[in-house]
Structure 1
Amino acid sequence: MSKRNNKKLLNQIYSRPLPIELSSDKYGVAMPTLFPHNPVSWLFYLTRLIQVNTLYSVPQSSETLIDVSYDSDGIFKVSDEESMAKLWRCGFFGKGTLSRSEPTWKARTIKRLNLDSNTANALSMEEVTNKRRDERKKFKAERSRLQELELKQRKGEISDLESSQLEQLRETLASLRLIDFKLSKDSFDRETDLRFEDLDLIESNQLGRNLEFLQLQAIETFFLKFAVNVIRVNDFSTKQLFLECCRQSGILKPTNKFVLDYVVYHHYRSLGWCVRSGVKFGCDMLLYKRGPPFIHAEYCILVISNDDKARYDWFEMAAKARVIGTVKKTFVLVYVDSPTEERFNSILSSAYSDEGILFQDLFKLYKVTEILYRRWAPSKTRD
């Protein structure tokens, strides 16, 4: 599949940035463009607005909420396969417990055991990644050999056999740079033998059960509950879920780690960024323009509060910047100014008829400030 067709397919699969459906998508009734200087434009816009609000119901009101279970270990789980696919494809929420990111364990197991011929030629993200890593290793080995021969040629110590090898390596590397990356089933050596544990999974030549579930972060769970209201977590209300998430991070206070992380998470989600966990790079969050299938993350976020200023010294900052710079990402320090404990507790203990309004008033008390951190490299910045 060419890059253009692959991008078109990804745009179709991941067309929705959030797991909500808009009226324009369901009914095909889009709001017209509004031109403030044109009175006719205002009239047409208001007419369409009244039409949408009176003749059509809100699509989200008829959607079934996704069930999220909360166990005694403090893990938020989504076990339904359709719900897992929806949360991943509409915003890249959660992580498959037996996969790199997207929950593909069931599909990979079915292919490995040859239980479905229709999916035999399909490739998972794990297989694509492994193949690309092998191709990258091969390219680096060929390039290293080429550099050795070029060094010998400059020194005048190269033999006739090595000269011919040098020309062949140049042609090989040129072809590897220009090749349109394609993968097929024949490119992989898949296992065909049954494992001992596979006997408990197969029932009537079918995969009996799915051992994988989608694990959500606490900030993702609360965002899906409070901001977009597409899930239900056990019998928790929004406030009960908030208190439980705060309890996981320590004492309930304005500088609670969960509260600070959620403020930053909601801030970037509202700006259209895809936000993922940054634990593998030693930071709190990663920012993607669209999502993992499209492009690598561009920014690494470290959330800092007034309580953390003493904890993050310059030695630790330099270590994080070194790691993040190595993977070619931009390090962003996000300072969160929190309210006083009295103001925080007064709003949280107030009797609001709508919990959504309660948390809106609560999160308005926080202020987010971003600072780009760049490591100074003398060799690159000298005059």
Structure 2
Amino acid sequence: MSLIGQKNKRGGFKGGARRNENNRIYANPLPLVFTDPPPSRTKSILSLLGISFGSLENPHCEGILDVATKSVWLTNTAHSMVLWRRGFFGKGNLSRSEPSWLARQINIRRTGGNQMTSEELTARRRAERQQFKQDRAKAIQAAFAEAEVAFETEGRVVKVALSGPSIPSAATWKPSESANPPSIPDQSTTSQDADHPVDEEEPPLEDMEHLQLTFAEAWFLLWTMDCLTILDAQTLETMSIQQIWSAFQSIHLNPMLLFDPRSQPSPKLQLHFDNPFLIHYVAYHHYRSLGWVVKGGIKFCVDYLLYKRGPVFSHAEFAIVLCPVYEDEDDKATSPFELQNASPFSWPWLSTINRVNATLQKTLILTYITIPAKSRISPDVLSSPACLSYYSIREVVIRRFIPARMRD
């Protein structure tokens, strides 16, 4: 590690050291981890007979159901970090993705920002790009001003070049100290001067952040992984699987109705096959079961983003747009929901979404989810997760046609 640190100072293996550290921290793709006991002669002989002594490590995390935000909150920091580092589940409510609010505050207080978190690195890169655009615009404006002066005084026409020694480029431009965002202190200063120590100790920081899981993520961890326990927000008692299953669907029926999640839905709140929770979970479970890391894609005007390993390793490769399809059109007329993309969308909308994601090097996928018909299947099956087997998924890949690049 010391050798890597020295090479990092010279700029040799900075990226490689970061990748190695991420591979170590995010080595487990799921919260459940299989551990092998220390090898021994007896165990090696029994392993030849198919007998394993491995054990399963289950984190057993706890979350609280929040009806107002339609999510599950994890207030325990240890549980939040386990779910984030083992599969990138949820997001911090005070962060862009990873719950790093407390780490950022401690970094500002103790180190003055020398050891930046991923949130701070992103903010710095954005500030540097903004300063680069401003410096380049000023240089171009100055070049045009010189050309106008030459034309007025000497009468000669000067063709302004947008590249050259006077115009900064992304390859040669270096950020100045003013590129640091206001939230990141200057690395040359610290929060406390070593020559003038502060007598009074600062009060300890309280972690104000919690990990927020969507209903699809929470149900996947609860039903598939069996590593999450959901508590009632009022009584803090453990909710059963049946209560959680009914609550996730009933909350979408009437968002303004703050009912008791532990109680059964009233007869008036009849469950439907086109419940948004079921539609989103079918797609979420489908891609999670294929090994993709599924995150929300509202930033890119889509429903989901698919990462090969996770956000810290690479950008998302695919952008998913959910398109519900009713097996029986009569169910759509009697449905209390207005699902997005259930009706035929316009070509300008599709072109806009496709261009946004193609510019960001993401492949757009239209995921068609067929909703079972009530006339064929009884709505009583919605009382259990067995109803998920009646849904089907079809995928259509959309690509931009660029004549200059696709002549072959």
Pairwise TM-score range, normalised by the shorter structure: 0.7 to 0.9
TM-score normalised by L of structure 2: 0.69
CA distance in structure 2 between the partners assigned to 1:218 and 1:141 by the alignment: 43
CA distance in structure 1 between the partners assigned to 2:187 and 2:356 by the alignment: 32
Distance change in 2, residues 1:173/1:287 (3 Å): closer
Offset of 1:301 from its aligned partner? 0.4
Aligned to 1:329: 362
TM-score normalised by L of structure 1: 0.73
Aligned to 2:351: 318
Contact kept in structure 1, 2:107 and 2:116, CA below 8 Å: no
Q: Which of 292, 300, 305 does residue 324 from structure 2 map onto?
A: 305
Mapped pair 1:94 → 2:90: yes
Q: Which of 295, 308, 312 does residue 289 from structure 1 map onto?
A: 308
Contact kept in structure 2, 1:110 and 1:207, CA below 8 Å: no
Q: Which of 6, 17, 20 does residue 8 from structure 1 map onto?
A: 20
- Larger helix share, 1 or 2: 1
Q: What CA deviation, in whole Å up to 9, does each residue of 1:45-90 have, x standing for no partner?
A: 99447421xx44x423xx3511101134233100111111111111
Q: Which of 208, 212, 215 does residue 211 from structure 1 map onto?
A: 208
CA distance in structure 1 between the partners assigned to 2:242 and 2:205 by the alignment: 38
Contact kept in structure 2, 1:273 and 1:290, CA below 8 Å: yes
Q: Which of 257, 267, 273 does residue 254 from structure 1 map onto?
A: 273
Distance change in 2, residues 1:313/1:158 (3 Å): closer
Aligned to 2:260: none
Offset of 1:145 from its aligned partner? 7.2
**1:368 alignment partner AA:** I
CA distance in structure 2 between the partners assigned to 1:157 and 1:132 by the alignment: 39
CA distance in structure 2 between the partners assigned to 1:230 and 1:323 by the alignment: 37
Contact kept in structure 1, 2:249 and 2:277, CA below 8 Å: yes
Contact kept in structure 1, 2:63 and 2:72, CA below 8 Å: yes
Contact kept in structure 2, 1:143 and 1:173, CA below 8 Å: no
Where does 1:19-98 land on structure 2 (aligned, <5 Å)? 19-24=31-36, 27=37, 47-48=47-48, 50-52=50-52, 55-56=53-54, 58-60=55-57, 63-73=58-68, 74-98=70-94
Aligned to 1:338: 371
Offset of 1:326 from its aligned partner? 3.4
Q: What CA deviation, in whole Å up to 9, does each residue of 1:246-287 have, x standing for no partner?
A: 223336222222112111111111111110001111111001
Aligned to 2:387: 362
Aligned to 1:199: none
Offset of 1:206 from its aligned partner? 3.3
**2:313 alignment partner AA:** F
CA distance in structure 1 between the partners assigned to 2:46 and 2:278 by the alignment: 39
Distance change in 2, residues 1:366/1:67 (3 Å): same
CA distance in structure 2 between the partners assigned to 1:69 and 1:15 by the alignment: 27
Pick which of 81-90 and 138-147 moved more. Answer: 138-147
Distance change in 2, residues 1:186/1:248 (3 Å): closer
Pick which of 131-140 and 296-305 moved more. Answer: 131-140
Aligned to 2:223: 226
Tell me the secondary structure at the aligned position of residue 70 of structure 1.
strand
Aligned to 1:33: none
The percentage of aligned residue pairs carrying the same residue is 30
Where does 1:129-278 land on structure 2 (aligned, <5 Å)? 129-140=122-133, 166-167=164-165, 169=167, 173-176=170-173, 205-234=202-231, 235-250=238-253, 252-278=271-297
- In the comparison of the two structures, how many residue pairs are matched? 329
Offset of 1:98 from its aligned partner? 0.9
CA distance in structure 2 between the partners assigned to 1:368 and 1:139 by the alignment: 45
Tell me the secondary structure at the aligned position of residue 358 of structure 2.
helix
Contact kept in structure 2, 1:146 and 1:166, CA below 8 Å: no
Contact kept in structure 2, 1:344 and 1:362, CA below 8 Å: no
Where does 1:115-134 land on structure 2 (aligned, <5 Å)? 116=110, 121-134=114-127
Distance change in 2, residues 1:9/1:176 (3 Å): farther
**1:282 alignment partner AA:** C
Tell me the secondary structure at the aligned position of residue 316 of structure 2.
coil
Offset of 1:297 from its aligned partner? 1.0
CA distance in structure 1 between the partners assigned to 2:379 and 2:106 by the alignment: 52
Q: What CA deviation, in whole Å up to 9, does each residue of 1:124-165 have, x standing for no partner?
A: 122211221233334445666788869x8xxx9559xx99x9
CA RMSD across the alignment: 3.7
Mapped pair 1:110 → 2:129: no
Structure 1 portions without partners, runs of 5+: 30-43, 178-182, 194-202, 350-357
Tell me the secondary structure at the aligned position of residue 212 of structure 1.
coil
CA distance in structure 2 between the partners assigned to 1:189 and 1:373 by the alignment: 49
Distance change in 2, residues 1:47/1:124 (3 Å): closer
CA distance in structure 2 between the partners assigned to 1:214 and 1:100 by the alignment: 11
CA distance in structure 1 between the partners assigned to 2:189 and 2:249 by the alignment: 45
Distance change in 2, residues 1:371/1:111 (3 Å): same
**2:282 alignment partner AA:** V
Structure 2 portions without partners, runs of 5+: 1-7, 9-13, 148-155, 175-179, 193-199, 232-237, 254-269, 327-340
Tell me the secondary structure at the aligned position of residue 15 of structure 1.
coil
Contact kept in structure 1, 2:64 and 2:72, CA below 8 Å: yes
**2:230 alignment partner AA:** V
